Structure 1
């Protein structure tokens, strides 16, 4: 009897989950252009040095696969360019990656924390009015931070970093009936051991095409990324990237 009840409960769970899953395979391909302003600091210890950064246009592109199998998560892969540079006049001596830079030195500073998101998620809700996804994200940061003396000394210091940061992922879309417009928000977040990382965006999308063969959406929104790193590969940082973005998404 207990065995039968357990089997019925499991079957009911599978049916309920299946009702929420995609009935057909769905492939999403998208790309964004993101104009960022950057503020922040970095060092090899907790005494962070503030730097000046130039505005820059970043690129981001992704592919996502949704399927009808109820117990297996959907997959999203997203590559995010995250680069900036600038020139800073040091107001104190600064040691980094084995080099020491004297006070009042003009140094070129460069940050490349380009990363890839590996997201596994489930569709909790999926209809024309509301879509909600929840999952986990493994954000692989693979880059470097560098400074160089612009004077006669010419010293260069480079700190490489490669790490995977586990994060929570969520995405929500609210449809606006009879308009072709959608409001969307998605992102990833984690905070642990003095580090905090978030990557959030929100905006509006317009369905330029919507038929059985392909959907085409144009997107406009605002994105904010914060990297507060506490001794990640001997790198301490508190960097904010934020600004407006525009993009396009195809759904097959």
Structure 2
């Protein structure tokens, strides 16, 4: 199943209609920028046909994530946020039956390597329905783009098959932040969600944030958290997958 821009636009219109009347913010204009280093552990399976999922023993990797958000005071116009995350790993397995991937058939007992070279880009539009020093709540929509390539290679013969992936997935988005009174510490949880037909995707993270600079000119905070991406994909750009990416991360955010 490939999601069209029309589906994303309809989802955006519905969300905007539901949320516009309650959108409030004490932010006049602000830019948030952050970077995170993620100790990512991966498990799962991939295929190019629904009944042919093959599991691999993926390596643990360190991945990067960057984001920029713009918040403003214009009524009814949503705030915007972009998150770019690398999802790169590889794993191996020995197959006990023939396996076909992207038109190439690998025979029984072949030693296969699966290389995931993907980028997840979240295009988020959201409203602040509550925003103060103690509680902040954001809700909106996310057009998540998965872009890159999935490669299966026979490690002996070096025969390889590559499946390109470039598709948008419409998701719901939310973020809740709780400030601890009389401290520079806050807790937040953020996530995007989708459950349509046989596609189930959840991208969530939760963290403790400590503000080291809090001034009128700039705020800076360190983050320590945990992120999980769970994806059951059913024919997203001719790709099927059941993959989990999980692990702790450390990050820094600045706010101008």
TM-score normalised over the length of structure 1: 0.90
Residue of structure 2 aligned with 1:44, choices 32, 48, 65: 48
Say which structure, 1 or 2, has more relative contact order (CA 8 Å, 6+ apart): 2
From 237, 243, 249, the counterpart of 1:245: 249
- Displacement of 1:22 after TM fit? 3.4
What pairs up with 1:27-106 in 2 under 5 angstroms? 27-47=31-51, 48-106=53-111
Change (3 A) 1:233 1:217: same
- Distance of 2:27 and 2:68 partners within structure 1: 19
Question: What secondary structure does 2:58 align onto?
Answer: coil
TM-score, structure 2 normalization: 0.89
Partner of 1:119: 124
Q: 1:10 is matched with which residue?
A: none
SS of the residue 1:178 aligns to: coil
1:17 Cα shift?
5.4
Cα deviations by residue, 1:132-179 (Å, 9 ceiling, x for unpaired): 00000000111111111111x321000111100000000000000112
SS in 2 for 1:213: coil
- Is the 1:22–1:66 contact (alpha carbons within 8 Å) kept by the matching residues of 2? no
Structure 2 residues not aligned, in runs of 5+: 1-19
Larger Rg: 1
Query: Which residue of structure 1 lines up, in the alignment, with residue 10 of structure 2?
Result: none
CA distance in 2: counterparts of 1:23 and 1:44, whole angstroms: 46
1:43-98 superposed Cα distances (whole Å, 9 cap, x missing partner): 11122111110000110001000001121000001111111102222222211111
2:8 aligns with none
In 2 relative to 1, CA 157–125 (structure 1 residues): closer, same or farther, beyond 3 Å?
same
Instruction: Tell me if structure 2 keeps the 8 A contact 1:124–1:132.
Output: yes
Runs of 4+ in 1 over 4 A off after TM superposition: none
| Contact 1:144/1:161, CA 8 A, preserved across alignment | yes
Q: CA deviation at 1:23?
A: 4.2
Counterpart pick for 1:189 among 187, 193, 212: 193
List runs of 5+ in structure 1 lacking aligned partners: 1-13
Name which of structure 1's ranges 153-162 and 122-131 shifts more when overlaid on structure 2: 153-162
Match of 1:8 in 2: none
2:141 aligns to what? Answer: 136
Contact 1:29–1:250, Cα closer than 8 Å, also in 2: yes
Q: In 1, Cα distance between the equivalents of 2:200 and 2:237? A: 15
Local SS of the residue matching 2:182: coil
| Greater mean alpha carbon deviation, residues 96-105 or residues 25-34 | 96-105
Does structure 1 retain, via aligned residues, the 8 Å contact 2:42–2:59? Answer: yes
Query: Residues 247 and 23 from structure 1, CA distance in 2 versus in 1: closer, same or farther, beyond 3 angstroms?
Result: closer
TM-superposed CA distance for 1:108, in Å, is 1.5
Structure 1 residues 103 and 218, CA, compared in 2 at 3 Å: closer, same or farther? same
How many residues in Structure 1 have an aligned counterpart in Structure 2? 236
1:192-236 C-alpha deviation (Å, 9 max, x unpaired): 121111100001000111011100010001000011110112211
